[in-house]
Structure 1
Amino acid sequence: MHGAIDLGARQSAARKQPGRQAQGGGAGAGVGAPAAGGQYVVDVTDQTFNTEVVERSQSVPVLVDFWAEWCGPCKQLGPILEKLANEAAGKWILAKVDIDANPQLGAYMQQMGVRGIPFVAAVVAGQLLPFLNGAAPEPQVRQAIDQLFEALRKEGILPDAPEGEQPAAGADAPMADPVTQRAEDALQRGDLDGAKAAFEELLAADPRNPQAKQGVALVELSRRVESLDPDRTLQEAAAKPGDVQTQIRAADVEMVSGLMEQAFDRLVSAVRATAGDDRDAARKHLLSLFDLLPPDDPRVTKARRSLQSALF
């Protein structure tokens, strides 16, 4: 894997240190200590990293989510990763690392040159590949994971998908043009300004480019939620159902958490319950959220019908 880091040296060093080797099953074992996220999600510590990640990666890919309790974007990305891990049903495992509770792994992450969280690494056959840096809505995370595993299959690192299995999104698509690639690379490294500039360049060339529209909408959403605490925002929205701006912020939090239908329903309800400027603000924000999904997405189609009903 281009850019991969070999974890073998770290594993060998850990085995020489008393107490560093995890107890329990090795590479072929089932997930040893499932987290609250489900059967295919495991909490990993300084002591269990080698067994639950390095050794396990010899038989199944492992995505490692580095997070912390104080990190708002981590709370947005984490549930999305857990949902997708459970959907994958064992095709890959999600390992969650609380960097505050596990300082050795936190320091190791910094040694890799990573300075911010959330950060997700992919570990396959003992090789660590930096994968995601920063939060993103569910469709973008899902697509990134599909593209990662398709690339690994093309390199022969993973076996081909079983016959009849749905190919990864974009697997047969032509190579992205340089501007699109620049935009996606900027998103991956958390460079929102660079990503927006590239997406706007695409829109200048083709104002109806759906990928560029989604990209700009994603950047704007990411900026809006950067300073929000998800739990506090949703609690405030529950306490102030008539405050449209509070409902708008809550809808943004739900979008980055993969709860698109809840976000749409929330704003449709706000349109139905308000009038004047408040109603217009809720309506316009809902329309802006539609740009995060393909125009033919059934969730968008359903929400558009609900909005029309609320307006008329």
Structure 2
Amino acid sequence: MTRPRPPIGPAMAGAVDLSGLKQRAQQNAPASAAEGAKTAGPGGPGGTEISEANFEDQVIIRSDEVPVVVLLWSPRSDVCIELRDALSGLAAADKGTWSLATVDVDAAPRVAQIFGVQAVPTVVALAAGQPISSFQGPQPADQLRRWVDSLISATAGKLAGATSSEDVEEVDPAAAQARAHLEAGDFVAARTSYEAILEADSGNAEAKGAIRQIDFLTRASGQRPDAVDVADAAPADIEAAFAAADVQLLNQDVSAAFNRLIALVRNTSGDDRTKVRTRLIELFELFDPADPEVIAARRNLANALY
């Protein structure tokens, strides 16, 4: 099977796995992120402009100490500029409790490629080298404030950086092998590896999340490309709607996918409604629970049900 391009981009929880980059960065890291900042270029509360040269130090390593909010933007977009200014203001007001990193996708396309960016502006928050939340497009100032506050709250007391060998998390060989299969696009081998991890540790969150994503990728990449048109022509066909939602998620049209199934919940009853609701919740679980689109969709689903 041809390896599909990464789905959903950074919005999908865990879809962008930077663990390999983090490991390399730690091996080559300066004594502290502050030391690395000496050569990082313009920075401070207003944000650090990210290039290939300083990406590892100012994004991956820095996120061991405080949450790093990465803004992928273009100076050709007024919306991007407005969002950059809004985030810069919040970063300045918060005085170092989190770090703003800005990536001009035109000037640093390879950095943008790491995040699987399909549109700008895209914002990805990282902690301990991994994405923990994200969104695309403009956001109201009050929602931005709440989003940043949620990042600070979620990481409070959990980020201190690795200061000694005792602080460095031991790499699980089984997990490393599973990640390697996943990064290589070998979904069968990756799923087998993660299943073995779950057999030994039934509560392993990484394995559970990875299997959900692998199953989604396998199913969605096999849907017919005109699935959306087919579903639009038969709005009462549940299976057609499921296929269309998969394709829309794969193409990062997240709200449209959620709204399609929420509309179907409104128009069904009994077992059919339960079936649609179950699929929708499964799709929610692919994302960070704090993702604004997931929060909105859960609220809309509750309204549709009650």
Q: Structure 1 length normalisation: TM-score?
A: 0.49
Q: Structure 2 length normalisation: TM-score?
A: 0.50
Q: Could you say which structure has the greater relative contact order, defined with CA pairs below 8 angstroms and 6 or more residues apart? A: 2
